[in-house]
Amino acid sequence: MKYPCKLSWNHNSKVANSKNAQNIRPTFESHCISLIASKLHSRYTERMKTVSPVLFSPFTHLDAAFTTRHGGVSHPPFNSANLAFHVGDNPDNVIKNHDLLAAQFNYNRHHLIHMRQIHSDKIIQIDPTFTFDSPPECDALITNHRNIPLMVMSADCTGILLYDPLHNAIGAIHAGRAGALAEILPKTIHAMHESFGTSKEDLYIVLGPSIGGCCYEINESIALECEQKGYSDSLRREKGKVFLAVNTILLQQLDTLNIQKERIEVIEHCTACKNDDYFSYRADTQQTGRIAGLILLH
């Protein structure tokens, strides 16, 4: 299952997805204008480089993107667009990166909700009482409120974005091996049904950049757990080693729910293979930044 996605160097995903856009890279003129504007309004000289899901592009009141490691202000090993506070980066730089992203996607950073992620199946419904400075401890966020951006952060795990256009509801999920095996994806779909009336047939779902079965080596006890839970297809054995494709588990769960393949997009960028573009906990030998999946109802 392979779908195209767009690497965007543009102001935001809507520009990138407009029919007339000739905009994979800025023209010299627009580059000059943006430089002048950046000097006038801030000292940032780069824009965050993001990947825009094609699946969401028809929806005008929705913004969604996955960040890369490019376009921020953090220094190595967090260079440069790290969005996580808990990894040892200078918090002032993390705030600047968040402000850059908020400016690109036209939201108030103080309204953005991220998570203290714990590799669980805990889901929290977000309303305007939540704030940027007090992220809840969980691994999935859902809301039907406009102008509350939801964010999942990752460095190898799969960030998942969900959109129900019928009920104007969104979700953001952090799913590594533990979360996937704990069925956080089907549980979040169920939670959206309970909270907003979402039918699984109404959903559009995007799996973001994550470590692939090409690079994610696991031990035999984890492999046994995957086999016992019915996910043998997610395992690959080669020269005495065993590798896991977490996305295969997630797609199997969506298949079990009979969600149409046309409503699923997989951004097949392995964060370890593409370590120049993404933070990877394994390829970067553990100390590194976090990319983010972002979704927002306007």
Interaction site with Zn ion (CB under 5 A): 212, 214-215, 270, 272-273
Among all residues, whose Cβ is closest to Zn ion?
270
Three-state SS for 172-184 is EEEECHHHHHCCH
**What CA–CA distance (Å, rounded) separates 157 from 140?**
13
227 contacts 157 by C-beta, under 8 angstroms: no
Which is nearer to Zn ion, 51 or 296 (by Cβ)?
Answer: 51
Separation CA 33–CA 22 (nearest Å): 17
Q: Of 176 and 212, which CB lies nearer to Zn ion in the complex structure?
A: 212
Question: Do the beta carbons of residue 169 and residue 294 sit within 8 Å?
Answer: no
Q: Could you give the CA distance from residue 213 to residue 88 in angstroms, rounded to a whole number?
A: 28
Least separation in angstroms between residue 273's CB and Zn ion is: 3
Q: Which is nearer to Zn ion, 135 or 209 (CB)?
A: 209
User: Positive or negative, the Cα torsion across 242, 236, 248, 69?
Assistant: positive
For Zn ion, the closer CB: 7 or 273: 273
Supply the minimum distance, in Å, between the C-beta of residue 111 and Zn ion.
Answer: 35
Rounded to a whole number of angstroms, the minimum distance from the CB of residue 173 to Zn ion is 21
Choice between 170 and 272, CB closer to Zn ion: 272
33 or 214, CB closer to Zn ion? 214
- Comparing CB distances to Zn ion, the nearer of 80 and 280 is 280
- Output 103 or 291, the one with its CB closest to Zn ion: 291
Exposure letters 160-196 (e unless 16+ CB within 10 A, then b) = bbbbbbebebbbbbbbbbbbbbbbbbbbbbebbbebb
What's the min distance (Å) between Cβ of 153 and Zn ion?
Answer: 20
Supply the minimum distance, in Å, between the C-beta of residue 247 and Zn ion: 12
Give dist(CA 212, CA 245) in Å, integer.
Answer: 5
What is the nearest approach in angstroms of Zn ion to the Cβ of residue 202? Answer: 33
Q: How far is the CB of 215 from Zn ion (least distance, A)?
A: 3
* Total residues found in the chain within this entry: 298
Strand order in the sheet with 217-218: 217-218, 241-244, 235-238
In Å, what is the CA distance from 6 to each residue of 25, 65, 247?
Answer: 12, 10, 20
Output the six-digit token pair for 261: 């393949």
State in angstroms the smallest separation of the CB of 270 from Zn ion.
Answer: 3
